[in-house]
Structure 1
Amino acid sequence: MNNTNKNESADTTRVQNLALSNELSEEKVQDFQAAFSLMDSQSKGYVCPNDIVRVAQAADMTFAENEAELLVGSADEDHSGGLDMREFISIMTTHVNPQDLEEELRQTFRVFDKDGNGTINANELKRFVRLWDSELTEDEANDMINQADPDNTGSINYKDFVEFLLHK
């Protein structure tokens, strides 16, 4: 068997293994592989947050690097700092239950709503955002908080908090 046939055979086997392990059709796995290859433009075998941001920007989507880092971190089972093909397919096929998301958002809001009055102090949220992303400039943090507090009241209610997190 020549090298081309060996590579095609290995690719077919890999597609079949991925399809069987995730109960996906071979065609669906090939679609995911094509998307993965688009992001993995240097053929490294993994996708890092910068790759995701680059592809999102090319598609005229706004995707901050810290969002890409969260996305990668949520699926990076081997803690390599990037997503391999299996991890990428896993994240692409994960279904989010709306009730679970709603409860998670409520719990997150409660963490910041220290006095339980239904609002979050914008300055406290800004301090947290700056601690979470130490490379964020003061201006970038202010822009984020202005998005979360569109009325510039200094307090962020639950509805604005959810819209901010979900970029509605």
Structure 2
Amino acid sequence: MFAAETGAWCTGREARPSDRRKWVKIEADSVMASINSNASGICLEEFIKLMEKKKAAQLYQNEIRQIFTAFDRQYRGFLTLEDFKKAFKQVAPKLSERIVLEAFREVDQDSDGHVSFKDFEYAMNYGKKEA
């Protein structure tokens, strides 16, 4: 929903040649450390697939930060119910206030009336790892 608005990278996009070269040079040790320690190596195409997944995850995290920042118009580092109402009024004006309130309560994990970035990030990732 927000990908087009934030300019996020589509996960289905092919890696650019410059990205491929960078990943081979910079990320090789990191990826090699994450594979089976008994393996003597990894083929380049498998390495590229792993890097594409890693890059997509990083970009998704950046997208979450951008969305949170867009909601946090007063730069307080947390969101209030009023912030939610204003944001939802812009992106989904026909949603009832009851639904917005339920969404806020669901995201406000500690029920303190403030949604921290950590709470927001958790809510955005909920169900993503299961898919």
Report the TM-score when normalising by structure 1: 0.40
Larger Rg computed on CA atoms? 1
